[in-house]
Structures are given as structure tokens and as C-alpha cells.
Amino acid sequence: MPAPAYVGEFPLSPPAGLNDAELREWLAVACELDRVRLQLAARPSPLERISLSVLENVIPLAPHLPGKIGRWSRGILRGTHVLRGVYDAIFN
């Protein structure tokens, strides 16, 4: 079994013998690397992107469906309108 690509990258520790300025610069680069790794880990997969785009196109049609799903979505829609009206009355 091949080794994972990240072997040797963790834990990230500074090289020995850095002065204060070099250590500060190394920490800044390490923080930026950590941010990039987080962004790469948190990005949606292609399947997630496709499913989100499908949901964005299907959800507006849900209140027009017959049966329980249509009634349920119409009830949610009415509830959101009521809550939005209450929110606007209180905070605006």
C-alpha cells in the first residue's frame, strides 16, 4: 500500500537555530500553509457541487408539487413569511 502524500508534513515544526525575526517569518508562512490546507480540505467535491446546483433548481418547484411534500413545503414557506414579517416589525 502506498504511503499517504502528507507523510513528513505533520507535525510542522520550525528548524533549529532561527532568530526572532526568522521565527516570526516562519510562523507567518506556516499559518498561511495551514490556511491553504484548510481551504483544500473544506472545498466541496464535484458530486457535492452537482447536488447543490440540482437542489437550488428543484427547491423553488417544491411548493407546486402535489401531496404531502407540496403541503409541507407550502407550510414552511408560509411560516418563513410570518417570521420574516415579525422580524421586520421588531427590528425595522
Vertex 34: Cα angle to 33 and 40 (nearest 5): 90
Mean local confidence (pLDDT), 31-55 = 89
Alpha-carbon distance of 55 to 47, in angstroms, equals 12
pLDDT at 10: 64
pTM over the 0.75 mark: no
Model pLDDT for residues 55-87, shown as the tens digit of each residue: 888 888 888 889 998 899 899 989 999 999 999
- Across the range 26-45, mean pLDDT stands at 90
Mean pLDDT in residue range 19-28: 93
